[in-house]
A = this chain, B = another copy of it.
Amino acid sequence: MSLVVVGSVAYDCVETPHGRADRMLGGACTYIALSASYFTGVRIVAVVGDDFDPADEQFLRDRGIDLEGLERAPGKTFFWSGVYSPDMNDRTTLKTDLNVFAGFNPKLPPGYRSQPYLLLGNIQPALQRSVREQMNGVRLVGGDTMNYWITRFRDELLETLKGWDFLLINDSEARLLSGEHNLKKAACKILEMGPSTIVIKRGEYGAILFRRDSYFIVPGYLLDDVFDPTGAGDCFAGGFVGYLAQCGFDLKDEHLDPRILHRAVIYGSVMGSYCCERFGVERFRTLTRAEVDGRFEEFRRFTEF
C-alpha cells in the first residue's frame, strides 16, 4: 500500500538570513516524498536531466523511495533560485529554468497504477488530471496548487479539483481561489468545488482543516530558528497524506474517525517544522521517526487545556 507522488525534482539556489546554498536538491516532489517516507511506502513520478547527481538519487533510495517513475531526459534538471526577506515571510524568485521539466508528461509505471494513495504536487492542473486518470481504484487523491494556476488556468484547475478528495492550499491561495477574504467562507466555497477536505496552510501560524461539518485548527510550531522555509509546505503535505496512508484511511468511509484527519494535520505540521531547521532537505538526512513522534507529543503538550 503505497503513496504515489507527482511533481518537480529540482536543484535550488536559496538565500536566507542564515546563509546561502548554491545548488541543493529540491522540488515539490522531493520534499513530499522525503516527508511521506517516514510514514508509508512512496513511489515518485518526476523528470530529471542528465546532470542529476547519483548521490541525490541514492539519498532518495536510502529513504526507501521507489524511483521507477523518475524519468531521465537529455538536458538539465529544473533549476530555481530565490532569496528570502529578513523575517522570511516573503521570498523573491530570482530565476526559474524549467529545463527538462518543460516537457514533463507524467507516465505512471504499471506497478504504480493500482496504489491506493495519490498526492499531486503543484504542476499544471491538466497534467495532474492525466495522472489521476492513469490510476485505478485510488482510495484517496488530493494535491496542491498555486496562484499561477488559479489565475491563468482557472477552468482547468476547477475541472481537476472535481476529482480530488482533498486540497492543500495556503491562505492567500484560498482567498484567490474563492474570492473570499474570510477563511471560513473561503473554505465553504472551495468545498463546493469538489474536495470534501481542505487544509489551509498559514505558514508560521499553523493550519486549518475544513470539512463540511467541522474544522480543526492547529497553531504553528515555535522554532528557535528558521534556517530555510523552502519546502515546508510540501513537507506538510507529505506528512499529512503519509500519515493517512499509514492508517489505511479512506475519506469515503462512513465511520471515519475525524481525529485521524486531525492527527494527520499535526504530523504535517511536525514535518513542515523539521524541514525549516536546516537548509533544503538536509534535516531529512538525520531525522528519525522517533523524533517525528516526539514532536507530535510536544504538540499535544503545548495545545492541551
Contact = CB atoms under 8 A, between A and B. Distances in A.
B225 A304 contact: no
Interface of A is mostly: mixed
A217 B303 contact: yes
Contact of A184 (B182, B183, B224, B262): B224
Interface string A209-252: 00000111111001111000000000000000000000000000
B218 A182 contact: no
Nearest to A301: B214
Contacts of A299: 305
Contact of A87 (B181, B205, B215, B259): B181
B185 A224 contact: yes
A256 to B, nearest CB: 14
Given A87-B181, A222-B184, A266 B305 contact: yes
Given A205-B205, A208-B222, A222-B208, A216 B182 contact: no
Contacts of A184: 222-224
Given A181-B87, A262-B304, A219 B222 contact: no
Interface string A243-274: 00000000000000001001101100000000
A133 B279 CA distance: 52
Closest 10 CB pairs of A and B: A262-B305, A217-B219, A205-B205, A219-B219, A184-B222, A263-B305, A217-B302, A266-B305, A216-B302, A215-B302
28 contacts: A87-B181, A182-B223, A182-B225, A184-B222, A184-B223, A202-B205, A205-B205, A205-B206, A206-B219, A208-B222, A214-B302, A215-B222, A215-B302, A216-B302, A216-B303, A217-B303, A218-B219, A218-B303, A219-B219, A259-B304, A262-B304, A262-B305, A263-B305, A265-B305, A266-B305, A299-B305, A300-B305, A303-B303
